[in-house]
Chains A and B, each alone.
Chain A
């Protein structure tokens, strides 16, 4: 009896390796079966996102298919978390997509295992000359290129001005504010609202946030050669910072934020008006501003005055499978997505600012207010000298879970910040090495 019931579970888990791939078409937009007999070459493109992004993406692909009548693009999408799991399953099943959105923290998991096409070898079909060096570096592993940023973004602090106006609190200057300024400002919001609204919150376990903080302290969280560069002291200081904010009531009390809450703007505590500010990826400004009532102000991350921590990043890279059956057509599509002005205009800013700077400048005037604001925010940063971002080393995708587990212990006072720093470094080293 046990074997029977159990093997059903086993089959679920294991057959998932091959079977999950089969469920993919059901979730996305399919265009008929494979090998349709109309003589067209079919390429498969997968990515994550929502229905709004799907609409923009489809319009862009329609443009491409009109210009290339011999090619049909079959595209599929889902939410980011199931996407991540299913992508691995598709490779395991021997049926990888031709073109795929690749998480920045997973690039080397795939690239180092030889599953991705080295784009540096195809420079004649894929023009990356319009990208700045830091933008190109996002997909580079040594002399090889395994990904191209689908757009550019960075993290930013958004403040709900409707709330700060209501409680008469002045928003600090986002170009010069320090972490102490954040504490003073956010605590003031909490106090002025009588505890109805907490001044700020951000996730201590989001690696992208910690990365900026580490650079501000003069450390590369990940080094150029793919090692862990952060010290235990920095991790401890990071938790001292967040717990200091909590103690000052700038942050909500432990347990107020449900870390299992969904990640969409509409589900956010900012949209629920229980907090007045948080960190978001800059390309999500439109979505958050819509969900929060249209009064969000975008600031830089605090503490950027002495040493720079912010960098130009990407919400997702585009990668091509090494054993794609139609690499030429796939590269053509990728080149179109990156360098074509009309393609960029149609896609808007759903994946951030176009990586090709000339294209980005051309489409900027036509963007709606929020996207224009996010674009200007990023362009200003692009004009400054910022530290580069390197692809995360293999194993880095485990760090979020490690940081989350330790962060929770710290939040509920069950682990001292000094011990947390040591513990993180030990576990992170193990994750990256093994």
Chain B
């Protein structure tokens, strides 16, 4: 009896490890920098001369580093606004596509495309063309006699423009939502329709609960990715985090500190602080999940 259960389980385990293999492979190259950065976080390291032990000095400096606080603010605002927005858009589009649109594969690819392009220089050019002071948006506003601001060059609006760019790249959560929606048995909806439940009621009582594990997965993934935003900010602002410090993402500031300002010890400490923050958010996420994620098995 016991062997009958454990054999397929062992086979499953083996398959699991097989799938994990690439990760273990990559880990070999990560483990050294990972621990090296932990050490460097407690040193004064300018890249050019050997690191010297500094104890907690780097972490103490963080307390009154106004730029660090600004970069945290930018990153948190960006995450808190853009993650829910992009997940909502992704779910909405996935539900429309799930209705059985003809040429689903084509639509799916088209909507997925921005996710691949968002960090590219071509998008930056396009973004300027649309949101620049003399861009398409302001040309449109000019018809109504309004002179719009520089949506990308004005520190009051630059971050919002980047959030829009993030929301536009809803492709990857959308693909996952789409797969999740396909898993919900059609009979639930048929039964609900029979009982006269409205579309909204069906969404609230069937789609949302049954999709909640997928939403949770997407939420955790997006949150982690959003805190680590680097490429979009880097290409849009040429690595400066400008205008002013309005798009200075945490990782952008970390990069500036480490590579442009010869302060790799501080940059390493920043990396570990970010790890703590992300870990904290993820733990809260998992704890909260108990109250709203519903597993149908």
The interface of chain A, by Cβ under 8 A from chain B, is: 1-11, 13-17, 81, 84-85, 88-89, 91-92, 109-110, 113-115, 254-262, 274, 397-398, 401, 404-405, 408-409, 412
Contact = CB atoms under 8 A, between A and B. Distances in A.
B287 interface: no
Contact of A91 (B33, B47, B155): B47
Interface in B254-291: 254-256, 258-262, 264, 267-268, 271, 274-275, 278-279, 282
Interface stretch (B84-92, B188-196, B199-207, B233-241): B233-241
A90 B254 CA distance: 19
B238 A13 contact: no
B242 A404 contact: yes
B79 to A, nearest CB: 14
Given A89-B47, A397-B260, A14 B271 contact: yes
B119 to A, nearest CB: 13
Q: How large is the interface on B (under 10, 10 to 19, 20 to 34, 35 or more residues)?
A: 35 or more
Interface stretch (B7-15, B97-105, B146-154, B163-171): B146-154
A408 B244 contact: yes
B224 interface: yes
Interface of B: 23, 26-27, 29-30, 33-34, 36-37, 40, 46-49, 128, 132-134, 149-150, 152-156, 220, 224-225, 228, 230, 236-240, 242-246, 251, 254-256, 258-262, 264, 267-268, 271, 274-275, 278-279, 282
Contacts of A4: 23
A10 B41 CA distance: 12
A3 B280 CA distance: 11
Contact of A85 (B220, B224, B259, B268): B259
A260 B237 contact: yes
B244 A405 contact: yes
A3 B259 contact: no
A16 B259 contact: yes
Nearest to B275: A6
A203 B186 CA distance: 62
16 contacts: A1-B282, A6-B274, A9-B230, A85-B255, A89-B259, A91-B47, A254-B154, A255-B150, A255-B153, A255-B154, A257-B133, A257-B153, A260-B152, A260-B242, A397-B261, A409-B155
A89 B224 CA distance: 27
Nearest to A414: B155
Contacts of B134: 256, 274
What DSSP secondary structure best describes chain A's contact surface?
Answer: helix
Contact of B30 (A11, A16, A259, A260): A11
Which of B27, B255, B258 has the most chain A CB atoms inside 10 A of its CB?
B258
Contacts of A262: 238
Contact of B48 (A13, A14, A84, A115): A115
A256 B147 CA distance: 11
A88 B259 contact: yes
B25 to A, nearest CB: 13
A408 B242 contact: yes
B278 A2 contact: yes
B262 A88 contact: yes
A87 to B, nearest CB: 10
